[in-house]
Structure 1
Amino acid sequence: MRRLLTAALVLAGVVGAQAVPRLTGAEAETRARAVLDTLTLDEKIGQVSMAHLFRFLEGGRSGPVAPNAGDIFSRLRPGATLNGGGDAPQPNTPRGWADALRGLDALGRQTLPGSVPAVFGTDAVHGVNNVPGATLYPHNLGLGAAFDPALTGEIARATAQDMRAMNMDWNFSPVADLGRDPRWGRFYETFGESPWLVADQVAAAVTGLQAGGVATTLKHFVGYGSPGLGRDRADAEISQKALHELYLPPFKAGIQAGAMSVMANSGSVNGIPVHASNAILTDLLRGELGFKGLVVSDWNDIDRLVTVYRTHADLVRATAASVNAGIDLYMVPNDVEQYAAALKEAVEGGQVSPARLDEAALRVLTFKAGLGLMDARPAGGGVLTDHRALARRAAAETLTLLENDQSLPLRKGRVLVTGPAMDSAAIGLGGWSVNWQGVGKGNVPDVPKVSTLATALKATAPVGVTVSALPDGKREALLKAAANADTIVVALGEAPAAESQANNPTLALPPAQVQLLRDVLGTGKPVVLVLMAGRPILLPEDLQSRLSAFVMAYLPGSEGGAALADALYGRAGFPGRLPFTWPGTLGEVGLTADRPPEGAGEAPLPLYPLGFGRDYTSFRTTDGQAVVTADGVRVSVTVQNTGKATGTGTYIVTASLPPAGTLEAVRRPVGVVRAALKPGESRTLSVAVPLERLEAFAGDAFGPVMGSVVPGPYIFQIGDETARVNLP
């Protein structure tokens, strides 16, 4: 963490960013209260409403700022604005965004109460992904495979730098949900399955973004990542034990890192929509976790209480329930006026107290004061920094080699490249790229510049390797070319999608892609599969077993092709390790590394376990040790590169807890050690494991739970090494 914070401060100084919050909590609240005391009821209601960018654009979904935008501001009085994926000012360029948002900021200062502008929020979830000219990085799942929080923090700071250049203040990121069910459409937006490993990534993202001057949003509080049947926004059934042991640690880490806002879960937990749950949004979030910032709704989710969940008879009742539960700011892009009328009726009818409305409005104003919006500030000119080298390095760290019969690296011969992902910007970027459903979908036609696999393999082939590329649609010509190739590289992947549209209940590729793989394997030539996907994919066993090599590339971003070419040619290795458990069948969905033993005393073995990955070299662990410290345990191990190539040794540190009266994981992941080593090089690596990562949450089936570190022996495993300590 010390390395991360130091790097954050260095970069912040280089780019001139001013970290947020810019004021202490008390200073920001004092500034906010002075404005609040001047507001009318209607103006307070405006402050707790968030309007969509297109309300202020000429022609609706995409266009220049409308001539009457100031009048719209005066009428809606929004405390915040946002853009959905695919909605953009014109021209849709970094400069166009900077000019439009600077203009809206000025209009807000001229027309809104107290001359406090609306804060603009956006989903910049792997770079500033709605802007075609911005660099896009691997999605979070790939960064989870890198197991390198410092890299995540660096990407967060670079994203903040680009956001500030375009006058964007607030990022709806990072996702602190866990990826526990790969059928879920937002699995790729998570950093993986393991609570404490995800917590480290979340803390790094929060620190990096806010050091760069952009407010963060932890989302989606809480339990959103475990919906029933893997369907987005389905009900999650979560016990108190699972809540505390699994789902809260990443949010707790983000709050401790200083996250300025939290977004509520769009779904429901134990049959209660989170947007109407006082127990979750107030008692748990503010009471137990101590969060003091802004709670924002997700898209139209108060309306959803009436239209989808049918838990409330009308919008007035739904509004009262949500605001009383703890929603401070409503993301209501489709009908700000209707929400304002409903909230006003709820206040005047006594369903929402004036004190609660004041509290919500004060939190919005305090949030904006912390961002510096109450003061004049320099405006970005829309000039983005070239971050492609960082994107390439990030993509390289994610790549995970699952199988290799020595077909890789590609050193000589004729290589044929095919498959729909070989030259597709859409597949390589995934969802939340230009449009929220991905490139090529929605009303914005722009395609960002992307390094694709086929182009990179052809452009950078070493001496002795010749590369040709043929699309899979020309099957007869493709199979003829395959007969003359020495190695076939097949690039497959999921079409880009987001949220429920990205649900994949069978974990399957489209049938046409499976048939392509079957056809090229039928040639008898070595086949290297490169998979670009946001989850583990189940291949037919007869195909999986015949692959000569299998590379999981996740959703690698702008420079994915270049990074893949380096790895396939052996100019670089494969540092990535799986951040999730890869099931062998649909019946194994839900199998995770921390699943405890059950009645039969055994669990199925996955196809690939958490932390799995191969490389062009090998490693050995020795001298595992664990030492009790004042606040936990320090675990160390010596890692040696025993092969003939430079590579990255990554080991998940697990802990076995003494009996506590409740089911516990055989080995709970609690940390990671990682180092790049030259052939023959060895290094002693260590990680601090705080006591909270060793807590057992005991209690009966339907009662409250209490977390505590149980006295007794704790056994830590790192690679082949184990170390034991006794905690009092």
Structure 2
Amino acid sequence: MKHLLTAALLLTGVAGAQAVPRLSPSEAESRARAVLETMTLDEKIGQVSMAHFFRFLEGGRSGPIAPNAGEILSRLRPGATLNGGGDAPQPNTPRGWADTLRGLEALGREGLPGGLPAVFGTDAVHGVNNVPGATLYPHNLGLGAAFDPALTQEISRATAADMRSMNMDWNFSPVADLGRDPRWGRFYETFGESPWLVADQVAAAVTGLQSGGVAATLKHFVGYGSPGLGRDRANAEISERALHELNLPPFQAGIRAGALAVMANSGSVNGLPVHASHELLTGVLREELSFGGLVVSDWNDVERLVTVYKTHADLVQAAAASVNAGIDLYMVPNDVEKYGAALKEAVEDGQVSPARLDEAALRVLTFKAQLGLMDARPAGSGVLIDHRALAKRAAAATLTLLENDQTLPLKKGRVLVTGPAMDSAAIQLGGWSVNWQGVGKGNVTDVPKISSLATALKASAPASLTVSALPDTKRAALLQAAAKADTIIVALGEPPAAESQANNSTLSLPPAQIGLLRDVLGTGKPVVLVLMAGRPVLLPEDLQNRVSAFVMAYLPGSEGGAALADALYGRTGFPGRLPFTWPGTLGEAGLTADRPPEGAGEAPLPLYPLGFGRDYTSFRTTDAGAVATDAGVRVNVTVTNTGDVAGTGTFIVNASLPPTGNLETVRRPVGVVRAALKPGEARTLSLMVPLERLEAFTGDVFGPVIGKVQDGLYMFQIGDETAAVNLP
């Protein structure tokens, strides 16, 4: 606890950033309205547009600020700017970012309406990932495996500190979508499959970012994580019930945590693109969830209504539809002029009312007032904080041991390490790392420094072990060395990618990696498989159940190698637990823990269930109890470390609801209890389950659904223990 407190105080002191929002809602809106009243129609249209910051750099690409940048800003009048994933100034260093963004802010104060600069937004989704010198943390899926919202909050605040040092104000994070289909390319950007467990992580991320002075963005509202066939941006068919029970809780949690912005889903729901859905963006988001902040589009998605979805005949109609649906700020990275002309025509011919345009512009201005942009402020230092200790601690918390026949921990003998993930920054960091498609992709050649598995294993090996490493490309030499080894560690992983490029319809690894695994298993030596991937993968049938140990490392970030070495050597354990259901076959992709009973009475069994994970020790649950209160149900359970080493006991609390007339899941995850325990130590843990987590949304097939806590017997399962309580 002392270590954690010290780290938190250090972050607070170094960041030096004032939390946002910095003004009360009424004061921020009052100051914004005073600016709005001075603006012309063209200025308001500019205010609701977001331009790529390359528009203001030399040559319209990576470089210094252009000599005519001030003139371009004055002409476009953008309310916001952004960079695409991997687009960077020159030099692509913290100082380079700080100077470029400070320079654009100064130009904005000189040439934009009210002297109010454009706000800069970026995707800093696991650290400030576009900057090669920044510390990168595990992607969200790994943090979901840690089941530790306090850790997520700490990482988010550290990310905010680095952003503010580079004069960045706005993060397009966290992802509040659910990871329900592992074939989907953005599965690794989610915190997992379970709505209420994800909700806790989302709230923590929002709190961390905004306490560090950076605006958070909940994305992608709503249903983006439920695409057909697991393909990015495919249509999602979502019932009213699924919307309320599954999709909305993480967004509701983020809104309650104070998120200043929401990004719209760039896909479609029930056949309608969300960017044109008044029902979702206004009816659900504004009226039902009471969100009062800024709604921003995703990349170029108003134009996609014309070019991809073909739901609107031209950009004028598309602009009108999106603004009327509820989009306040359009992320129009390249052709700002074209969009501005289209929106102006839509206003002038009555398709968009002046009042709606004023409302959108006011929200952009209010957003900037909340960030402190209406006042002078100190420049960022351009110096990043060394967060490597936090990154290592985070990676260690995610590691999940799926199989172990006592091969681990490694204690003595000769260990051979191989596989493409043993020393690859690209695989270890995954997508959204320097480039949005990952290291080595696009026009940015920088390779971040990482602690790789092979290097860390060799550098920190105990005296009783000898460790060697050979690349899998030297197959003959590798197999000769394998014949002399006592244990072989094979590090495999998915090539980095993002969005649709990361779709994996077969949940498979590249054939060359499967061939490597088959070859080393053929030696008959114990094989430890370390997987760095953003989803569960399926091994060929002839390789299943043949590895001696299996470690899921997710995408562990900059310090993943050091964290893995400590765990493999037994200096630490494996506290991570699966935040998703691992299917046994491709036909079970999309199987989740909260699937209700089937009419045939059959219940598919996954390869590994939600919350699964082994460790070097074991835990027992006893003395479970449940007590109804006005706020919900308080669940208690005693957890004992029954093994010989320290470890972290993590148990999902599942609720079973009384009959409601509709299908209900047998086990609804409603929370987690978790404790680090010494050998033999026992501790009674308590969890308050709010009543809303026990609501059932019932109704007929095509009718409206009504959410309420039903009267009856509720059962709570924690480990092997159950407790019952009657409500009301």
TM, length-normalised to structure 2: 0.99
Equivalent residue, structure 1, for 2:346: 346
1:423 aligns with 2:423: yes
Equivalent residue, structure 1, for 2:279: 279
Equivalent residue, structure 1, for 2:333: 333
Instruction: Give unmatched runs, 5+ long, in structure 2.
Output: none
Could you tell me how far 1:68 is from its partner in structure 2? 1.0
Q: How does 1:575-654 map to 2 (within 5 A)?
A: 575-654=575-654
Give secondary structure in 2 for the equivalent of 1:397. helix
* CA-based RMSD: 1.3
Equivalent residue, structure 2, for 1:456: 456
Could you tell me how far 1:53 is from its partner in structure 2? 1.1
* CA deviation string 1:319-374 (max 9, x = no partner): 00000000000000020010000000000011000000000000000000000000
| One-letter amino acid matched to 1:521 | L
Could you tell me how far 1:381 is from its partner in structure 2? 1.8
* CA deviation string 1:609-639 (max 9, x = no partner): 0000000001101000111112000101100
* CA deviation string 1:155-199 (max 9, x = no partner): 000000000000000000000000000000000000000000000
Give secondary structure in 2 for the equivalent of 1:697. strand
Give secondary structure in 1 for the equivalent of 2:597. coil
Distance 1:13 1:25, change over 3 A: farther
CA distance in structure 2 between the partners assigned to 1:369 and 1:317 by the alignment: 31
CA distance in structure 1 between the partners assigned to 2:224 and 2:374 by the alignment: 34
Equivalent residue, structure 1, for 2:291: 291
Query: CA contact under 8 A between 1:12 and 1:19: conserved in structure 2?
Result: no
CA distance in structure 1 between the partners assigned to 2:4 and 2:676 by the alignment: 18
| One-letter amino acid matched to 1:246 | L
Equivalent residue, structure 1, for 2:506: 506
Q: How does 1:222-241 map to 2 (within 5 A)?
A: 222-241=222-241
* CA deviation string 1:437-494 (max 9, x = no partner): 0000011111111000000000000011001100001111110110000000000000
Distance 1:77 1:283, change over 3 A: same
Query: CA contact under 8 A between 1:8 and 1:207: conserved in structure 2?
Result: no
- Detail structure 1 runs of 4+ shifted over 6 Å in the superposition: 3-10
Query: CA contact under 8 A between 1:227 and 1:235: conserved in structure 2?
Result: yes
Q: How does 1:688-727 map to 2 (within 5 A)?
A: 688-727=688-727
* CA deviation string 1:543-587 (max 9, x = no partner): 121100000000000000000000000000000000000000011
Equivalent residue, structure 2, for 1:71: 71
* CA deviation string 1:382-428 (max 9, x = no partner): 11110000000000000000000000001000000000000000000
* CA deviation string 1:100-151 (max 9, x = no partner): 0000000000000100000000000000000011100000000000000000
Query: CA contact under 8 A between 1:420 and 1:493: conserved in structure 2?
Result: yes
CA distance in structure 2 between the partners assigned to 1:198 and 1:20 by the alignment: 23
CA distance in structure 1 between the partners assigned to 2:684 and 2:180 by the alignment: 32
**Matched pairs, number:** 726
Equivalent residue, structure 2, for 1:484: 484
Query: CA contact under 8 A between 2:404 and 2:548: conserved in structure 1?
Result: yes
CA distance in structure 2 between the partners assigned to 1:254 and 1:544 by the alignment: 40
Query: CA contact under 8 A between 2:428 and 2:560: conserved in structure 1?
Result: yes
Equivalent residue, structure 1, for 2:143: 143
Equivalent residue, structure 2, for 1:155: 155
Equivalent residue, structure 1, for 2:434: 434
Give secondary structure in 2 for the equivalent of 1:483. helix
Could you tell me how far 1:255 is from its partner in structure 2? 0.2
Query: CA contact under 8 A between 2:14 and 2:161: conserved in structure 1?
Result: no
Query: CA contact under 8 A between 2:101 and 2:168: conserved in structure 1?
Result: yes
Query: CA contact under 8 A between 1:8 and 1:208: conserved in structure 2?
Result: no
Query: CA contact under 8 A between 1:494 and 1:533: conserved in structure 2?
Result: yes
Could you tell me how far 1:64 is from its partner in structure 2? 1.1
CA distance in structure 2 between the partners assigned to 1:7 and 1:149 by the alignment: 16
CA distance in structure 2 between the partners assigned to 1:145 and 1:612 by the alignment: 10
CA distance in structure 2 between the partners assigned to 1:8 and 1:465 by the alignment: 37
CA distance in structure 1 between the partners assigned to 2:433 and 2:589 by the alignment: 28
1:659 aligns with 2:697: no
CA distance in structure 1 between the partners assigned to 2:648 and 2:149 by the alignment: 15
CA distance in structure 1 between the partners assigned to 2:634 and 2:278 by the alignment: 39
Could you tell me how far 1:13 is from its partner in structure 2? 5.3
1:243 aligns with 2:243: yes
Query: CA contact under 8 A between 1:12 and 1:211: conserved in structure 2?
Result: no
| One-letter amino acid matched to 2:725 | V
Distance 1:267 1:165, change over 3 A: same
Equivalent residue, structure 1, for 2:90: 90
Distance 1:255 1:687, change over 3 A: same
| One-letter amino acid matched to 1:710 | Q
**Percent of counterpart pairs with the same letter?**
85
Query: CA contact under 8 A between 1:183 and 1:507: conserved in structure 2?
Result: yes
Give secondary structure in 1 for the equivalent of 2:204. helix
CA distance in structure 2 between the partners assigned to 1:162 and 1:311 by the alignment: 41
CA distance in structure 1 between the partners assigned to 2:92 and 2:412 by the alignment: 44
Q: How does 1:104-115 map to 2 (within 5 A)?
A: 104-115=104-115
Distance 1:319 1:168, change over 3 A: same
1:542 aligns with 2:520: no
Equivalent residue, structure 1, for 2:493: 493
CA distance in structure 1 between the partners assigned to 2:4 and 2:210 by the alignment: 13
CA distance in structure 2 between the partners assigned to 1:654 and 1:4 by the alignment: 29
Give secondary structure in 2 for the equivalent of 1:444. coil
Could you tell me how far 1:542 is from its partner in structure 2? 2.1
